[in-house]
Structure 1
Amino acid sequence: MNHKSSPKKVAIYARVSTEEQAEHGYSIDAQLETLRKYCELYSNEVVDEYVDRGVSGKSIKGRYELQRLLKDAEESKFNEVIVWKFNRMARKNIDLLHIVDLLEKNSITFRSFSENFDTNSSMGRFALQMMGAVGELERNTIVDNVKMGHRQRAKMGLHNGKVPLGYTVVEGNGNSRETKSEIIIVEDEASIVRYIFEQYATGHGLKTIANDLNHRGRKTQKGNPFSTTAIRDLLDNPMFVGKIRYNQYENWAEKRRKGKSSEVILVDGHHPPIINKALWEKVQLLREKKATLPKKRFEGEYLLTGLIRCPECSAAMTASRTVNRSKDGEKITRMYYSCGRFRSQGSAVCHANSVRKVEAEQAVTDRIRQAVVNPEILQRVVRSVNERRSGRIKPLRDELAAVQARITSLEDKKRKYLELYEIDDIDRDMFSERLSILNKELDTELTRKSKLELELRDDQADPASYELVRSLITKFDALLRHSPFQQRKTLMHLIVKKITLDDKKRVSSVELAFNEQTEKHFLSVAPSAEPIAEGAFPLSGKAPHIKQTLRIII
Structure 2
Amino acid sequence: MPPKRNGEAPRVAVGYTRVSTKREEMISPELQAHEQDTYAERNGIRIVERVEDLDLSGRDFARRSVDYIVKGIIEGRWNVVLLWKWSRWGRNLLQSRLYLAEVEQAGGEVIAVTEDFDTTTSVGKFSRDQMLAIAELQSNQIGENWKEAHERRRRMGLPHNGQFRFGYTYSRGAGYQPDPVSADALADCYKRYVEAGESMRSLTQMLNANGHRTGRGNLFTNISLGRLMDTGFAAGLIREKSNPGGNGNTLAAYDVWRMGVHEPIISMELWEKYREKRLASAETAPRLRSPKHSFSGLVYCPQCKKRMRRTTGGGRNGPHWRCRTRLQNKSCPGASIMDDRLEKIMREWVVENAQGGDTIEEDADRIRAAQKATTNLAACEAEVARLKRKRTRLLDVYTDDESYDKGDYLKKKAEIDRDLERADLTLRAARKRVNEIDTTDYRDIFTTLADLWDNATPSEKRELLSKVVRRIEVRAGTEKRKLSKVNVVPRWMPDPWE
Normalized against structure 2, the TM-score is what? 0.50
